Structure 1
Amino acid sequence: DGLPVMGFPLVIIGGIYTGIFSPTEAAAASVAYALMLEVGLYRSLTKEKIVDAFLQTGVITGVVFVLVGAGQALSWMLSFLRIPQEIMPIILGIDPSMLKVTVVVIISYFVACMFLDPIVAIYVLSPIFHPYVAAAGIDPVLLGTLVCIQVAIGSATPPFGCDIFTAQLLFRRPYFEVIAHTPPFILILLLVTALLVIFPDIALFLPNTAFIN
């Protein structure tokens, strides 16, 4: 009975890796596939349910984009005032070590994503840290993994992590009830971050194995 659902990995992963879809287009294609299954095969969706789903999605997206807009305004102000460019040389110094750069990057993305949308944080911080990361010789795969984890942590951390508000709208639960259930997940991700910093081969083993000569 669940066999048609197995088409989702084929549509998403197969479409991306064969070059048919971009990741965004694959998401849209999977939604179209879901509609085909629910309307044509399972017949569980009615016109009223589809309209209600569209309306709820619009509300949730609207709330998220309000946060994105506010984050972009803040990032523009920070960039215009050149605050990161003035602060980073003081924090990192002239010749920072690999560990110091890694720790500063982790903390910066974590704190930034507590207040900004992750896309905005990455857009603002990446050009600032790039020279230091390149000079320290940090592996880009390791750095990308660490940044993604910090984005996940910061987005679920009060007071303004955007995932908190998304979950609040999706599950129709109060703000404080949502954040009361986030600490276990945050602690797990912090533990993973510490393990990756101490043992970077956890993130690099598979890429190094795949591209070994």
Structure 2
Amino acid sequence: MIWLLLAFALLLLLGGFEMFLVLALPALGLKEAFYPNLPDAALVQKVIGGINHSTLLAIPFFILAAHLMGAGRIANQLTGLMRGFLGHTRGGMGHTTIGASMAFGSVSGSAPATVAAMGRMVYPQMRETGFSERFGLGLLVASAETALLIPPSITLIIYGWITGTSIAQLFAGGLAVGLFLGLAFAAMVTVEARRRGLQGGARTPWSERLAMLWEAKWALGMPLIILGGIYTGLFTPTEAAAVSVVYAIFVEMVIFRELDFRKLVAVTEESAVATAVIFVLLAMGGLLSFFVTLAQVPGTITDFLEAADADVVLFLLVVNLCFLIAGMFIDPNSALLILVPPLFPVAQAFGVDPVHFGMIVTLNICIGMITPPFGLDIFVASSTLDRPVLSIIRGVWPFVAINIVVLLIVTYVPEISLFVPNLIFN
């Protein structure tokens, strides 16, 4: 049965069908072929009930907050602040790009939104300070991946919804892994800067840095409210998402006056479309997951691995290969919805911590976002900067390689993922 499911889905994918049909039609085909007595009303209940979950309310809120900040001044302030603190280092504009992407990711939770917001601000400055087009484009696209790890990550919210893992603990793990990935990129920037003989800019005096910090207080208030509220128990992640929208509207409309009512409506419409796309995928993915469970696919995988005398090391390697291949051809949310339901129970059977498994999955999703032929962030960067897709693809390969190195380290050193959650919650 599993092979029929995979073959049908692959056929639809190669046929150019929309992703929600690639998820839904195999499920409906399984129903007709193997479960004809299952009432149609039960399927409708699975579709609606699958997305009728309070945790998922965080997604539209964080998407709207990200669009509001991208249209306003918060993104500019975060970039300026990072340049004030990092611009004097060797290859300073590269480090600024990483820091600014991580900072914007901490208030948006979206890699494409980070690429769009950062692209026009940091890429021209990287070129002006001596970085090549290839390296600059690759760094811009790769740095945005940290938004999928740094809280409040929409990817981690979806993973937590699928698996029932604590969102707060996933956010804590993502903070550590996101910083680790950012440091790996920073090492690449330093090596590239030395190779090209690049220097940093003038060191910003501490008096100016403190002035920048004060000026950016409203921008910095967002991650402080989100993370501080979650980890002090003041908000749930969903409530923190709602607060972030109210805060973004207040800051951009009242404090900065960057948004008027007409622009607010336009940004809200844009966010609604992005939210609808995700929730249609979630609904269809929930239906597919129901049939995956009904067909006892996780048990089949476990039995196969036991028959092959596989251990946890081999299982995690197979997981990484599955996600790396899937990431080349389908969008990240679809990869989560297709692969996590059958693989997560097997991971539990092998004793893999749910938070650790979430970090492995999310790092794979990060790689998929920048991997040809269908890496979403590549096309966002191409559209934002009006650069050829092939130019960006040439620039991402060194970052794909460093991503894989980081992925392997995180996969087989679970303490990196679990240190912060254990520190906070144990």
So what's the TM-score if we normalise by structure 2?
0.40
Q: How does 1:4-19 map to 2 (within 5 A)?
A: 4-19=218-233
Gaps of 5+ in 2: 1-214
The worse-fitting range, judged by mean Cα deviation, of 49-58 and 121-130 is: 49-58
1:97 to 294, 306, 311: 311
What residue in structure 2 maps to residue 40 of structure 1?
A: 254
Residues in 1 aligned to 2:286 and 2:345: alpha-carbon distance in whole angstroms: 25
Check the 8 A contact 1:38/1:45 in 2, yes or no.
Answer: yes
By how many angstroms is 1:67 displaced?
Answer: 9.2
1:136 to 350, 358, 363: 350
So what's the TM-score if we normalise by structure 1?
0.71
By how many angstroms is 1:103 displaced?
Answer: 0.4
**AA at the equivalent of 1:92:** L
Check the 8 A contact 2:253/2:260 in 1, yes or no.
Answer: yes
Question: 1:113 and 2:327 equivalent?
Answer: yes
What residue in structure 2 maps to residue 176 of structure 1?
A: 389
Question: 1:160 and 2:374 equivalent?
Answer: yes
Aligned-pair identity (%): 35
Quickly say closer, same or farther: Cα 1:175–1:89, change in 2 above 3 A: farther
By how many angstroms is 1:180 displaced?
Answer: 4.1
**AA at the equivalent of 1:161:** G
Quickly say closer, same or farther: Cα 1:183–1:48, change in 2 above 3 A: farther
Residues in 1 aligned to 2:224 and 2:339: alpha-carbon distance in whole angstroms: 35
**AA at the equivalent of 2:333:** I
**AA at the equivalent of 1:156:** I
Q: Using CA pairs below 8 Å that are at least 6 residues apart, which structure has the higher relative contact order?
A: 2
Residues in 1 aligned to 2:425 and 2:269: alpha-carbon distance in whole angstroms: 46
1:123-169, Cα deviation, whole Å (9 max, x unpaired): 3323322343233333333322211111111132222334444x248
2:401 to 177, 180, 187: 187
Quickly say closer, same or farther: Cα 1:38–1:158, change in 2 above 3 A: same
Give the 3-state SS of the residue equivalent to 1:182 in structure 2. Answer: helix
**AA at the equivalent of 1:6:** L
Residues in 1 aligned to 2:301 and 2:343: alpha-carbon distance in whole angstroms: 8
Question: 1:50 and 2:269 equivalent?
Answer: no
By how many angstroms is 1:38 displaced?
Answer: 1.9
By how many angstroms is 1:201 displaced?
Answer: 3.2
Check the 8 A contact 2:299/2:346 in 1, yes or no.
Answer: no
Residues in 2 aligned to 1:127 and 1:109: alpha-carbon distance in whole angstroms: 13
Q: How does 1:74-89 map to 2 (within 5 A)?
A: 79=292, 88=301
Residues in 1 aligned to 2:285 and 2:329: alpha-carbon distance in whole angstroms: 11
Residues in 1 aligned to 2:269 and 2:285: alpha-carbon distance in whole angstroms: 25
By how many angstroms is 1:106 displaced?
Answer: 1.3
Check the 8 A contact 1:96/1:136 in 2, yes or no.
Answer: no
Residues in 2 aligned to 1:11 and 1:27: alpha-carbon distance in whole angstroms: 10
**AA at the equivalent of 1:176:** V
What residue in structure 2 maps to residue 199 of structure 1?
A: 413
Residues in 1 aligned to 2:383 and 2:246: alpha-carbon distance in whole angstroms: 21
Question: 1:122 and 2:339 equivalent?
Answer: no
Q: Which has the larger radius of gyration?
A: 2
Q: How does 1:143-154 map to 2 (within 5 A)?
A: 143-154=357-368
**AA at the equivalent of 2:365:** V
By how many angstroms is 1:27 displaced?
Answer: 3.0
Check the 8 A contact 1:168/1:175 in 2, yes or no.
Answer: no
Quickly say closer, same or farther: Cα 1:65–1:148, change in 2 above 3 A: closer
Residues in 2 aligned to 1:140 and 1:73: alpha-carbon distance in whole angstroms: 19
Residues in 2 aligned to 1:60 and 1:183: alpha-carbon distance in whole angstroms: 28
Quickly say closer, same or farther: Cα 1:27–1:205, change in 2 above 3 A: closer
**AA at the equivalent of 1:13:** L
Q: CA RMSD in A?
A: 4.0
Residues in 2 aligned to 1:131 and 1:164: alpha-carbon distance in whole angstroms: 33
Residues in 2 aligned to 1:15 and 1:106: alpha-carbon distance in whole angstroms: 33
Check the 8 A contact 1:60/1:169 in 2, yes or no.
Answer: no
Residues in 1 aligned to 2:242 and 2:423: alpha-carbon distance in whole angstroms: 33
Quickly say closer, same or farther: Cα 1:48–1:131, change in 2 above 3 A: closer
